Structure formats: structure tokens, C-alpha cells
Amino acid sequence: MSRSTSSDQLGRGLTALTGVSAALCALVVSAVILTVVSGAWPALKELGPKRFLFDTGWHPADGLYGMAPIIVGSLAVVSGAILIATPFGILSALFLNFYAPRIVGNLYRSALELLGGIPSVVFGLWGMTTVVPLLRRIHSPGSGLLAGSLVLSLMIIPTFASLADAAVRAVPSSLYASSLALGLRRWHALWTVVLPSARSGLAAALVLQTGRAVGETMVVLMVCGNIPLLPKGLFDPIRTLTANVALEMPYALGIHRSALFVSGLVVLMLVVGLMVLVERVRTEE
Amino acid sequence: MIRRGRGVDRAGLVAVWAAAVLVTASFVAICCGLFAHGWSGLSLKFLSEAPSDAGRSGGILPILASTGLLLLTCLAITVPVGLGTAIFLTEVVPCGHRGGRLVRRSLELLAGAPSIVFGLFGCALFCNLLGLGFSIMSGALTLACMILPFFVKAAEEGLRAVSPELRLAAAGLGLSRQKALAFVVLPAASYALCGGLVLAVARALAETAALIFTSGYVDRMPRSVFDSGRAVSVHIYDLAMNIPGGDKNASSTALVLLFGVCLLNVAFRKLTMRMMGAK
């Protein structure tokens, strides 16, 4: 009984039906890419990629479509989030595998699972009502790069921690045991033996979460201030590529609308690039 | 050297515990913050009234109805297509088949695509090109494309996990493959299929960015799937961002959404545990 049994045994009709649905799945991907590219095409043709990079600022009403400040804003907020989330993710994985008593570990896993299930719009709402007012006390306006990075990092920590947990757990326990037997202290063994062995799994988790952060819309839309200017400090308001689309799509027309598709296309390309990178990291293993 | 090693070891211990405590604390802070803002606004009336004053007062009944309709329509599209694809991948094509690989690749790409891109896609294809406009139908089609990969993956894993003995026994009793699939394999995989379904619904329920410009903003009771309808998550976004003084009701709505998501998570866990038990 193998799965390679010839398909006519399943009945022609059923085979055809399942084939059609599978083809539909493959078709949807091409449709997504095709729609976004064809939506972006008029702007790319009329303005050219150069203008998107070198126009002075994003002022669609004046025909200026400089996306550089928005791209920089996106990258800045994502880097901030990753910078905060990485130590927490890795330390959580170590906590779950080597430090926590069993009950505490299980509780922490449930907490991570629940935290990971919170919809992004709820994170955004919490950021608006709690994080931004807190930051405003330190430095107005509160909503900006730092607020975005903080809330975004909280959003990606749970999944990152679970993936890192799996990567660390996959390291053979004999490695840890023998390094302890050689007289290494726990932290030293973890830092010099266990974590390096889990390197590729951790890297894959990191890249995967970077992709999620790049594609995230609601959190950055709600807490970043949405001003399309180059950020000069941590408290400066920024606008990301995703927020740019969500903000202007309801009223954009003509070339402006097409420019928003360019914005979406850049996000898609970034995310696909990161996915390819994950594949690379994983096959290196 | 030894003493320094001990210091680092201690520091590591403190850092690990501190990280865990901080993450847990922020989780508690989110829950407490939402409860503090939104708990007082929650009541049976809140769930059974239409919003008034742009959502600042009143309830969320039409929004719940729109969300329900959106999810049902979305599932009506996802389940047959997803199940068909899962059967195709496990029962029809042999492992490593080129077509199967292509479909799997496509689904991986689909699973990774950001929701705002789906929003653009749905808006351009379903709303404009197919002429569905801002409607629950457009939103549901967009959502269906989004959650398809997750459902297919769960269903495929479930079908693969059905023990070969069962299939052999069915074949030995003279059942055709078609009958075996319908009466042996699918029932045996039913917990996994339900689990995948629940997971997909949870994902759809949490989605906002793809719905803003596909299913629209209208907060009236939808009369059909071709009406525009506002999903719960879009309601939270709109109240928080565009309506001054809408924060309180946004938090109450967020609590309702959170409750729904938690319920689905618990259901998923129960189903997975049952599945483990059944094996």
C-alpha cells in the first residue's frame, strides 16, 4: 500500500476534482504576484524606479513619490524590534530547556502560546493606549520609532521563543552533559557549546521573524506616528511601507494608487527575499 | 578565573530568569491594560446593540454578524479547496512528484506573504476587476486565500498520520480507494481536520490589514454577502485610530475578540490532545 498507487484507482472524478483544487492553490500565488506587479506597473513605467528612490520626500499631492524615508523607517523599526526580541527569544529558549522547573516551564510555554495568539490589532491598541502615553512622559510625541519597535518586538517574541526553544531542544543532550562533565559551568556550557550547535535553527527563526516584522501592518500603523520623514532619533515618528499602503489606499487614485502598489511590491520582495534566506540557512544544516 | 566563571554563571542565571519574568509581565500588562480600559463597557447590551455615535457608544451586534458571515463564507471556500488539495498531495500524487512540489512551494509562499499584500491583491482583483466592490464576499475570498496554506498543511499532516494498517485493512476488505478515503481515512483524520479548521478560523479572526479595503467599513447589519461589512478587528482599528473618544469601546471590542481567539485556541488544544489520545 503505497501512496504512489496509480491515480485512476481513486476514481477519475475525484482525482480531477482534487487536481483542480491543487491547481487553484498554485494559481492563487501567481495571481497575487501578478496583481501586485500589474498594479505597480503604471507608476514604475511613468515615474521610473529612480524617482521612487531619489524624489525629495513622499508628497503624492505634489507628484513627489520619494520612498527612501519610508523604506528607512521600515528598516529602522524592524531592526529595533529584532534587536530587542533576539535576546529575549534566546534567553527564553534557555530558560525553558535548562533553568525552569517543569511546572514553571509549562506555564511559561502556555503564556507564550497565548501571547502569540493575540491579534496584531490588539497589540496596536495596547500600544496606543499604554505604551505611547508612557513614552510621551519621557519625550513627546511618544508615538514613533521606539514605540513601534517595542510593541513589534513583543509581538514577535512568542513565536521566536517557541522556534528557538525547538532549535535548542534539538541539540543532543549528551553535548550539554559532557561539557558539564568536563567542568564547564552551566552558563559557559550553554554559551560555548549548546547555542553554537543550535546556530542554524536560531538563525532560521530570526530570519523568519524578521519577515513577519517587515510584513506587519497594524502595530506600526497604530503606534509609529505615520509621518513620512527620515527618523533622526529614537523618538521620531516614522511611516513604514505597510502603513503607507493602509493609510492612503482608501482615497488614492491613478498614479498615486499605483505608487502604493509599488510600496506593497517592495514589502513583498523583502519578505520573499527573507524566505529564500531561511531556505539557505536551513539547507546549510 | 574560576571565580570569574562563577560570576558569569550567576549573571546568566539572573538574565535568563529576568527575561522570562519580563515577557510574562508584559503579557500580564497587556491583559490588565485591556481589562482596565474595556471591562466596564462589556455587557449583554454591548453584544446585542448596534453601534451609535460612530461607535463611541452602543454595541457591536452588526459587527459580530458581519464577522460571522465573513468567516462562514471564507470557510465555505477554504474547506473544499483545502481538503481537495490535501487529498491531492497525500493520495493522488506520489511523494516527490513535481506537481506536488510545485503546489507545496506555492503554499509556502502564500503562507509567508504579508497581509497588506493580500489586501492590495483582494482590492484589485475581487473588488475592482471582478466587480464585487467592498463586500463581505471580497473580504471572504481574500481571507480564504490567506488561510488556505495553513488549513492545507494541517489537513495534509492529518491525512499522512493515518496509520497504514487502516488503509491496508480497508483494501483487504475489498473497499475501493474512493470508499476507503470516505469511510476510513477521512474519519480517522477528523480530529486533525477539525484542528486545522479551528487554527484557520483563529487566523482569519485576527486578520485586519487584508480586510480594511476589501470588506469595507460599513457598520450596519449586512443583508447579504454582497453588502459591505465591518469585521471585529477592523472595528477596533477604526475606533482607536479614527474616532476620538473611541478608545473605551475599542478596548471592550478587543476583549471580545481576545475571548474568541482564546476559545479557539483552547478548542485546538483539546482537539490535538484527543488526536494524541486516539492514536
Q: What is the mean pLDDT of residues A230-250?
A: 91
Structurally, chain A folds into a number of domains equal to: 2
Q: pLDDT grade, residue B58 (50/70/90)?
A: confident
Question: Are B225 and B154 found together in one domain?
Answer: yes
Choose among A73, A23, A8: nearest CA to A224: A73
With residues binned 3-state (H G I as helix, E B as strand, rest as coil), the percentages for chain A, rounded to 5, are 80, 0, 20
CATH number of residue B140's parent domain: 1.10.3720.10
**What residues contact residue B219 under an 8 Å CB cut-off, 6+ apart?**
B50, B51, B55, B62, B63, B230, B235
Q: What is the mean pLDDT of residues B98-112?
A: 90
Which member of B95, B125, B257 has the closest CB to residue A35? B125
Which member of A94, A157, A250 has the closest CB to residue B213? A250
Q: In chain A, whose CA is at the least distance from the CA of B104?
A: A26
- A285 vs B35, residue with greater confidence: B35
Rounded Cα gap, residues A69 and A241, in angstroms:
10
How many angstroms away from the CA of B118 is the closest CA of chain A?
7
Q: Which cell is B194 given? A: 477539525
- Please, are residues B158 and B227 in contact by the beta-carbon 8 Å criterion? no
Question: Are A127 and A173 found together in one domain?
Answer: yes
**Partners of residue B80 in chain A, C-beta under 8 Å:** 21
Question: Are A233 and A111 found together in one domain?
Answer: yes
Question: Are B6 and B52 found together in one domain?
Answer: no
Q: What is the mean pLDDT of residues B1-19?
A: 82
Q: Is A4 contained in some domain?
A: no
pTM of the model: 0.91
A65 by DSSP, 3-state: which? strand
Q: In chain B, whose CA is at the least distance from the CA of A89?
A: B19
Structurally, chain B folds into a number of domains equal to: 2
Rounded Cα gap, residues A237 and A146, in angstroms:
9
Burial string for A172-210 (b: 16+ CB within 10 Å, else e) reads: eeeebeebeeeebbbbbbbbebbbebbeebbbbbbbbbb
Q: Is A202 contained in some domain?
A: yes
**Partners of residue B237 in chain A, C-beta under 8 Å:** 121, 124, 218, 221-222
Question: Are B77 and B124 found together in one domain?
Answer: yes
Question: Are A106 and A222 found together in one domain?
Answer: yes
Q: Is A3 contained in some domain?
A: no
Question: Are A133 and A184 found together in one domain?
Answer: yes
Rounded Cα gap, residues B184 and B89, in angstroms:
18
**Partners of residue A94 in chain B, C-beta under 8 Å:** 16
Q: Is A249 contained in some domain?
A: yes
Q: Which cell is A247 given? A: 493609510
Q: What integer pLDDT is reported at residue A3 of this predicted model?
A: 46
Q: What is the mean pLDDT of residues A141-168?
A: 94
Polymer length in residues for chain A: 285
User: What is the full DSSP assignment across B174-190?
Assistant: T--HHHHIIIIIHHHTH
ipTM of this complex: 0.91
Question: Are B134 and B174 found together in one domain?
Answer: yes
Q: Please compute, for residue B114, the number of CA atoms within 13 A of its CA located in the half-sphere on the CB side.
A: 34
Which member of A38, A126, A215 has the closest CB to residue B30? A126
Q: Is A212 contained in some domain?
A: yes
Question: Are B57 and B190 found together in one domain?
Answer: yes
Give the model confidence (pLDDT) of A220-231 as tens digits: 999 999 999 998
CB atoms within 10 A of CB B13: 16
From chain A residues 53-72, the ones with a CB under 8 A of any chain B CB are: none
Residue A93 has pLDDT above 70, yes or no: yes
Structural domain harbouring B22? 2-41
According to the per-residue pLDDT averaged within each range, which of A81-95, B37-51, B177-191 is highest? A81-95
Residue A19 has pLDDT above 80, yes or no: yes
Task: Note whether B120 contacts A11, CB cutoff 8 Å.
Answer: no
Choose among A239, A235, A237, A236: nearest CA to A217: A239
Q: Is A99 on the interface with B (CB under 8 A)?
A: yes
Rounded Cα gap, residues A234 and A225, in angstroms:
12
Question: Are A101 and A26 found together in one domain?
Answer: no
Rounded Cα gap, residues B208 and B143, in angstroms:
10
Choosing among A153, A187, A222, A247, which should be mutated to test the B contact, i.e. which has the most B CBs within 10 A?
A187
From chain A residues 221-250, the ones with a CB under 8 A of any chain B CB are: 221-222, 242, 245-246, 249-250
Angle, vertex CA B62, rays to CA B61 and CA B68, nearest 5: 90
Question: Are A115 and A162 found together in one domain?
Answer: yes
Task: Note whether A242 contacts B209, CB cutoff 8 Å.
Answer: yes
% of chain A at pLDDT higher than 90 = 71
Sign of the dihedral through C-alpha B119, A126, A206, A102: negative
Question: Are A48 and A131 found together in one domain?
Answer: no
Q: What integer pLDDT is reported at residue B3 of this predicted model?
A: 53
Choosing among A25, A92, A120, which should be mutated to test the B contact, i.e. which has the most B CBs within 10 A?
A25
Structural domain harbouring A98? 70-284
Task: Note whether B15 contacts A14, CB cutoff 8 Å.
Answer: no
**What residues contact residue B245 under an 8 Å CB cut-off, 6+ apart?**
B56
Which member of A1, A9, A38 has the closest CB to residue B168? A1
Question: Are B196 and B215 found together in one domain?
Answer: yes
Q: In chain B, whose CA is at the least distance from the CA of A207?
A: B112
Question: Are B233 and B204 found together in one domain?
Answer: yes
Q: What integer pLDDT is reported at residue A245 of this predicted model?
A: 94
How many angstroms away from the CA of A51 is the closest CA of chain B?
22
Choose among A217, A209, A283: nearest CA to A246: A217
Question: Are B74 and B32 found together in one domain?
Answer: no
Looking at residue B160, its amino acid is R
Task: Note whether B265 contacts A188, CB cutoff 8 Å.
Answer: no
Which member of B114, B213, B241 has the closest CB to residue A268? B114
Q: Is A192 contained in some domain?
A: yes
Residue B279 has pLDDT above 70, yes or no: no
CA separation, residue A255 to residues A42, A43, B124, B170 (Å): 7, 6, 14, 61
B174: left (phi over 0), alpha (psi -120 to 50) or beta: left
CA separation, residue A127 to residues A24, A33, A146, A147, B30 (Å): 39, 32, 11, 7, 9
**Partners of residue A29 in chain B, C-beta under 8 Å:** 106-107, 109-110
Give the model confidence (pLDDT) of A166-211 as tens digits: 999 999 999 999 999 998 889 989 999 999 999 999 999 999 999 9
Task: Note whether A22 contacts B167, CB cutoff 8 Å.
Answer: no
**Partners of residue B93 in chain A, C-beta under 8 Å:** 7
